[in-house]
Amino acid sequence: MTAEEFQVARDFYDETLALAPMFPDALLGKLRALTYLTRAEDAMAVADELLAISRYPGDAHYWKAYNELSLERYDAAWLDIEAAESLAHQQRGAEAGRHHCDQPPRDRGRAAAPRYLASAQP
């Protein structure tokens, strides 16, 4: 997609949200569009809205971390990576009929955050 198409997509999501405020699919779409438009601060605000309504928390943490990385906020990005990873472990545990909530989080080192996010493309 081109930048113009992302702007059109963002406008569409804004129109959708005007009709159905806090609709999680529209919020997630807007978050992605803002990210591709390099509007990191706005994108992170939408991620926070998703987290506030407890919808798509893994996606919200992932995209928030991606945008934090673009602003070189490595510590904040790392915290969101860990939150997304924790959610993924909980989901896999629930799918397998067990929970991993009582296991301590794995620390792979904060230095890995920029490499990890840089390798992931939106």
Tell me what the mean pLDDT of segment 76-84 comes to: 95
Give the helix/strand (H/E) hosting 49: helix 40-52
Please give the CATH topology (third level) of the domain spanning 3-119: 1.25.40
Rounded CA gap, 1 and 58, in Å? Answer: 24
Residue pair 81/64 in contact by the 8 Å Cβ criterion? no
pLDDT higher than 80, residue 114? no
pLDDT higher than 80, residue 115? no
pLDDT higher than 50, residue 99? no
Tens digit of pLDDT for each residue in 47-66? 999 999 999 999 999 999 99
Pairwise pLDDT comparison (116 vs 17), residue with the higher score: 17
User: What's the CA angle centered on 68, arms 47 and 90, to 5 degrees?
Assistant: 55
Q: Where are the domains of the chain?
A: 3-119
Closest C-alpha to 83, from 99, 59, 102, 100: 59
pLDDT higher than 80, residue 67? yes
Which residue, chain included where needed, has tokens 């992931």? 120
